[in-house]
Each structure stands twice: as C-alpha cells, then as structure tokens.
Amino acid sequence: MFRKPSWIAPLKITWQILGCLLILESLVRLLFWSWNRDLFPPETGILPWLWGLRLDLSALIVSNMPLWIFLFLSQQLPVKRWPIRGARWSLLVINGANLGLALIDTGYFRFVRHRSNSDLLFVWADSAGAFPSILARHAWLLLVFLSLLACLIFLSHRFLRRGPPEENRPSLVAGQILTCLMLLLGARGWQATVLMPASPLIDLDPRLLPLAQNSSDDLLYSLLRRQDEIRPPHFYSDSALYSLVRSYSRIGSGHRGPMTKKNVVVCILESFCGQYLRPGDPLKAETPFFDSLMRESLCFPNAYANGVSSNQGLVAILGGLPPLLDEPFYYSPYANTPLRGLGNILRDQGYDGNFFLGASADHFGFGKLCHMAGIYHYYGRREFHDDRFYDGNWGIFDEPFLQYVSRVLDAKPQPFLAVIFNITSHYPYTIPENLRDRFSQPGKSPAQRSASYVDYAFRRFWDSCRRSAWFDHTVFLFCADHWLYPGVPGAYNSVSSTRIPLFIFDPSKKSGGTNSRIASQVDVGPTLLDWLHYSGDCTGFGNSLLDTAANRQYAINKPGTFLQIIDSDYVLGYDPVRDKSIYLYRYGTDSLFRQNLLGEDNCRRIRDRLETNIRSTVQSYDEALTRGKLH
C-alpha cells in the first residue's frame, strides 16, 4: 500500500486546523455583518469578505503560535502526551478568546463603531457590573459562543490525537520547515507592505473597513503599537507649525477688568446624541426641560465629540486633548504631561473643584484624570451611601444622585467648579422601576426613553438648584461625552454619529441664541474661561467659541482606526500611520457618503487644507507629549 511521505504530515494537519478555524471565523464575521447590517452601506460586494479571509488567516497564524510550537514538538519528541495536551489547550484557549472577542464586537460595534483596541483593557473591569444585564439582553451571543467552543473541542479531538509516524525524520523536518515558510507567508501576506488593520483601505470604502477587520488582530496591533515612544512626524518647520496650530490657546486678550468669578457647572450627558435635542429630527427624544432650557441658552448646533468613549470625551473636555492615542491619555506613558485646562486654571483662581459621578470610586480612571485636571473633590456611589438607588449596572440612578449633588453644592464655598457626569443614559438604559411606565413612550427606543428620564432628572435637579443662593451667580454648560447608537434604524455616517449637544445657560443672560461655528469638546474649557472674562493661556487644542477672530473652524475626532477632520461642509478621513488620506465627502449634500471626492481635481484645495490642519495637529500633539509640555 502506498504511504504518504512524512513531510506531508505537518502540512496536512496544520492546514486542516487552519481551514476549520477560518470557517468558524467566517461564520462569526457573517454574524457580525447580519447583526450590524444597517450600519454598513447596502452594497458591500465580495471584497470585504476576501479581505476578511486574508486578515483572519494572518491573525490565526500569529495568535496560534503556541499551538504550532506544541504541534511541531509532538511530531518530533518521543513523548507525545504533554505536547498534544499543550496543543489542545492552546487551540481551545487562544481561539476561544479570538472568537469571543469577535462576538463581543458583534454586540458592541453599534455603540463604538470600531473593532476592539487597547482601550478595551482599561474599561473592562469597570464595566463588569453591567455584564449581567448586557448578557441578559444578548443571551443569544452567549449561546453562539458555547456552540463555537463545542466546535473547538471537537476539532481538538479530531486533529490532535497523536503525532505522525516517527520514521524518516529528515523528511518530517523538511515538512515542518515548509509549513513554517507557508505560515510566514500567510501571516505576512503577499502584498507589497505588511498586513495591518488598515490594509483593506487599498480597495475598500472606509465604511466597510470594520467588516473586513479581525477583532483579535486589531487588539494585538493596538497593543503592539502603543505609544511608549512617540516619534513626532516632521511635516512642518517650527515656525510654520506655530502659525498653523498650537497646543494651547490664548484667551481674553481683549478683556478689560478683573475676571468674573461665577460658579461653573459642567453637565456631561452620558452617551447623548445631538439628535435627541434637535427639533424635527427622527431621533428627537421627549425632553421638555432641555427644550425649554435651550431656548434661553447659547446653543452650538454644529458640535461634535472628539472621541467615541467616555474616557476620551472627558480628556477632551477637561484637558483639551483630542484622542490621538489608542489608550486613555492618563494611562499612557505621557500622563505626566502637565495640564492647564479649565479645572487647573479655576483652581488657581480660588475655585473649589468637584467631580460628581454616581459610579464606583475612580470609575474608568476618572479620579486620576480629575487630579491631573486640578479637581480634587470626587463624589461617587460610595459618598452617596445609599445603594437602594443602585441601578444594578453602573451606579446610582440619575434623579436621586442629582438631588444629592444639589445638596453638596449648597454646602460648598463659592466660587466652585462642579463637573457632573450622569450615567442612566448609558446602555442598557435602565430606568427606575417606579418610573418605567412614565417613560414607556410608544415608538421610542430604550435609548430615547432613557434620554427622557435624564431630562426629568435634570429638571428635578434644576428645581432644587433654583432655590439656592448660588444659582443666579452660576454659568451652566451641557454637553455629551460621546454619541451612542440610539437604537433607531437609520442612515448614520461618521459625521452624524459624532454629533453631540452643546449649550451654555447663564441666568443673567436668558436671551438665548445660536452660534453655528464648528465646535467640539476641546473647546469647552477655553469657551467657559472666555465667558468668565479670564485673560491668559489655556493648554489643549481648543479655542474659545466666543472668539470671532479664532481661525480654527474644524473638529478632529477618531471614529475608528483612523482620524477624521470635519469642517462646515466636508469631512476628510486620514490614516496617520501611513500618512494617507482615505476619503473626502461633502457630508451636507452626500449623507450616505456615496461619492468619495479625494481624487477630484476641483476638490484638491479643500483636501490640501484639511490635510494641513490634521497633519499639523498630529505633529503638534506628538511634539507636546514628547517634550512633556503643552505650552
């Protein structure tokens, strides 16, 4: 009987395992697309799937390195038992983690609009309290995961029972060498440059990039390229860079007289879409209090979030820094870069700084950021000291916690700074049981109903504050930490899905008004300081929205693996790793992003201008962090 040569055995078993794993990864990708289908263009074509196979193959080869080592050892060593056992456990643990991460992205993608990156490691522990509720709403994902684990167990017993025959060892070694070369080719890819998460952009519409990407590959890439040592690009000379963008802003050069030391209350609305408060918008929530308050406020209808997560939004608001790092700024190697933002400046002016969040102590590391931002009093779930109002997920329900905030502020010396971060409008949108019927509005999604509850909670807070002596001498600013998918099917693009509310109410100036400038979270600090007639410098990349002479009319954010810059008409996507623009859309007239204008000759000046703005920001940001100084 003909016997297969020994060199075939390593190739056969390796590619049998890889083939089966590729099938499982492809099934999860199909599930990812099916569950999030409304977030992708209707015409996907076959290219995202082909790129997905390439990235899956590369990710499987790299992540399963322990499996290949154990497998090769089982083919060489006379003792087979422990290498086979090691190979089995490697297959189960590594690929169970890979598939589990892809399933997490399946359920969470519509909230963050990108695959997992290193930021996941910093929010995982603080999200643990919400896991039971999230699992209850996504029990089918758990069932899918258990089914996939059963498949992996079957594969481990099917292919990892014993090693190949030991005879003809030179032929076996030759087969292993050939297998290694093929694995290297599969991991490296056969294109000109090394495969990376952004590689599919060579062929794909950027909106389809997450469909082609592999979750474990994105996470590993993000971890390996963590900015332990930033090497600033050198697009511009120092003098040219200074004229384009600075890592600080100069405020109030035209102010005369002393600073007006009003109390400052910054209300950060968790996961709040700008559309919730836009009259006539299909996503408009029932928010009678906010609607009435905005009529007496200075509103910024063209405001955008700089980041897509709470830690990014808070760094932008309190530190003036856009999220150009994958990990939170205060966890990065550059966390010792001194800030001089809203909290630091007001503290130097004698303000009592306070941060209120109904969650656990140092939730998502916010306690660390507060100290960096000059806010030393932190009030959370522990200080509230009554878990009867715990929502079972994140912390204390908004309405009772905001009543607690008003009592704390009544006892504070003036002037004070209060940063209030609500939680109930975060997924899974839990509303107190005694109020659920009140906010079960027909036709509204759970996210919109939670926004209505937040509106109610702030109205109750407002009623309490208006009776306080400090109220009339206070300026209030409302904005969101980030946009979040509202649970209503619709056409969302990378511009509309970063739009947030931003408005300022001052009891002494109830005339209302609209400022249509492009605004973002990094502008909050400079704008409030300008409102108080402060004169001086403020670190960060924002500008006062009250300064008509300010020439910056754009917002920079990071909706996925790339950066984008938004001006009044256009949005440009930019890959800072490859220093390459990937799209240019006129979002006002092309909300579905059908026509990429990047190669159009008549748009060259627009493209060059936006590229200059974003490149200069990246260079200035990187140079500021490497020199440890934002000024």
> Taking CA 301 as the corner, what is the angle to CA 300 and CA 304, rounded to the nearest 5 degrees?
85
Mean pLDDT of the chain: 87
Q: How many CB atoms lie within 10 A of CB 302?
A: 20
Per-residue 3-state assignment (H helix, E strand, C coil) for 149-216:
HHHHHHHHHHHCCCCCCCCCHHHHHHHHHHHHHHHHHHHHCCCCCCCCCCHHHHCCCHHHHHHHCCHH
Q: Is the pLDDT higher at 423 or at 77?
A: 423
Question: What is the maximum alpha-carbon separation in the chain?
Answer: 101
> For residue range 242-252, what is the model confidence (pLDDT) as tens digits?
899 999 999 97
Residue 223 has pLDDT above 90, yes or no: no
**Distant-in-sequence contacts of 139-145, Cβ < 8 A, 24+ apart:** 141/103, 141/106, 141/107, 144/28, 144/31, 144/103, 145/99, 145/100, 145/103
CA distance 364 to 328: 9
Backbone dihedral angles phi then psi of residue 248, each to the nearest 5 degrees = -155, 165
Q: Vertex 144, ends 141 and 145: CA angle to 5°?
A: 90
Tell me, what's the pLDDT at 2?
A: 40
Q: Which range scores top for mean pLDDT: 71-85, 428-442, 463-477, 486-500? A: 463-477
Q: Tell me what percent of the residues of the chain surpass a pLDDT of 70.
A: 87
Q: For 396-427, what is each residue's pLDDT tens digit?
A: 999 999 999 999 999 999 999 999 999 999 88
Nearest residue to 375 via CA among 312, 423, 318, 321: 318
Name the 3-class secondary structure at 47.
Answer: helix
- 550 versus 218: which is more confidently predicted? 218
Cβ atoms 70, 83 nearer than 8 A: yes
Residue with the bigger pLDDT between 606 and 74: it is 606
Alpha-carbon gap, residue 258 to 535, rounded angstroms? 9
The pLDDT value recorded for residue 14 is 79
Is the pLDDT reported for residue 7 higher than 50? no
Which has more pLDDT, 459 or 6?
459
Among candidate residues 222, 228, 276, 270, the one with its CA nearest the CA of residue 105: 222
Per-residue pLDDT at 163 exceeds 60: no
Asked if 322 and 621 count as a contact pair (C-beta separation under 8 A), the reply is yes
Tokens of 168: 């003809």
Say how far apart CA 306 and CA 558 lie, in whole Å.
Answer: 7
CB-based burial of residue 596 (10 Å sphere; 0-12 exposed, 13-18 middle, 19+ buried)? middle
Q: Say how far apart CA 532 and CA 506 lie, in whole Å.
A: 11
- How far the first Cα of the chain sits from its last, in Å, is 80
Specify whether the CB–CB gap between 360 and 579 falls below 8 A: no
Give residues with Cβ within 8 angstroms of 589, minimum separation 6. none
The better pLDDT of the pair 187, 260 is held by 260
Whether the ω angle into residue 428 lies within 30 degrees of 0, i.e. cis, is yes
Alpha helices in 366-443 (DSSP H): 366-372, 381-384, 398-410
**Percent of the chain clearing pLDDT 90 (strictly above):** 53
pLDDT (tens digit per residue) in 266-303? 999 999 999 999 998 888 999 999 999 999 999 999 99
Distance CA 253, CA 258 (A): 12
Q: Are strands 513-514 and 298-299 parallel, antiparallel or unpaired?
A: parallel
Q: Is the CB of residue 375 less than 8 Å from the CB of residue 355?
A: yes
SS (H, E, C) 96-165: HHHHHHHHHHHHHHHHHCCCCCCHHHHHCHHHHHHHHHHHHHCHHHHHHHHHHHHHHHHHHHHHCCCCCC
pLDDT digit string, tens, across residues 137-148: 778 888 999 999
Could you give the C-alpha distances from 27 to 21, 54, 213, in angstroms and in order? Answer: 10, 15, 14
Per-residue pLDDT, averaged over 202-213, amounts to: 82
Which domains does the chain possess?
8-224 (no CATH), 262-548 (3.40.720.10)
How much is the average pLDDT of 25-54? 89
Residue 187: what pLDDT?
A: 67
Least confident residue range of 31-45, 132-146, 176-190: 176-190
Helix (H, G, I), strand (E, B) or coil at 449: helix
